[in-house]
Amino acid sequence: MSVPAPAGRTVLVAGLFPAKARDHAAVMAALTAELEGHGAVVAGSFVQRRGVSAGGVQAMGLPYSATTVLGSGKLRELAAARAATAASAVIFAGQLTYRQRSRLTDALGCPVLGRADLPATATPE
């Protein structure tokens, strides 16, 4: 996948984390710092926690799919922020499958990438 470097672009960052992940804030802060260090303007950060509710705990063992990366409410929140900020991309802290990227790109109206999808020039050596 060929994607432009984030320099000069407004982006949003997002992440899906299990409830037991205590370092999610540090992961999101590191991604934000990395992107800003390469000239991106990070307009917002969104975290979806999985396994916080009783239903979420039951779903922890299920595989992720194109429809379960974000809950419908978080997806609406992210879409509204993307529209309000005119962000040119959404960068996820974790990896996304091709299908997840495609589904989210369609839903949000901008490219959606996982951290691993960023060009080499967008990540520190």
pTM for the predicted model, two decimal places: 0.80
Percent of the residues in the chain that have a pLDDT greater than 90, as a whole number:
41
Percent of the residues in the chain that have a pLDDT greater than 70, as a whole number:
75
CA–CA separation, 108 and 52 (whole Å): 25
- For residue 69, give the nearest of 35, 93, 44 by alpha carbon: 93
Asked whether residue 106 carries a pLDDT value surpassing 50, the answer given is yes
Residue 121 CB burial class (10 angstroms; 0-12, 13-18, ≥19): exposed
- 14-53 pLDDT, tens digit each: 998 877 778 889 999 999 998 998 899 999 999 987 765 5
Whether residue 96 contacts residue 116, with contact meaning beta carbons closer than 8 Å, is answered with no
Asked whether residue 57 carries a pLDDT value surpassing 60, the answer given is no
CA–CA separation, 54 and 27 (whole Å): 25
DSSP designation for 121? G
Asked whether residue 124 carries a pLDDT value surpassing 50, the answer given is no
Asked whether residue 90 carries a pLDDT value surpassing 90, the answer given is yes
For 104-110, what is the mean pLDDT? 92
Asked whether residue 105 carries a pLDDT value surpassing 80, the answer given is yes
Dihedral pair phi/psi, residue 27, rounded to 5°: -65, -45
Whether residue 70 contacts residue 14, with contact meaning beta carbons closer than 8 Å, is answered with yes
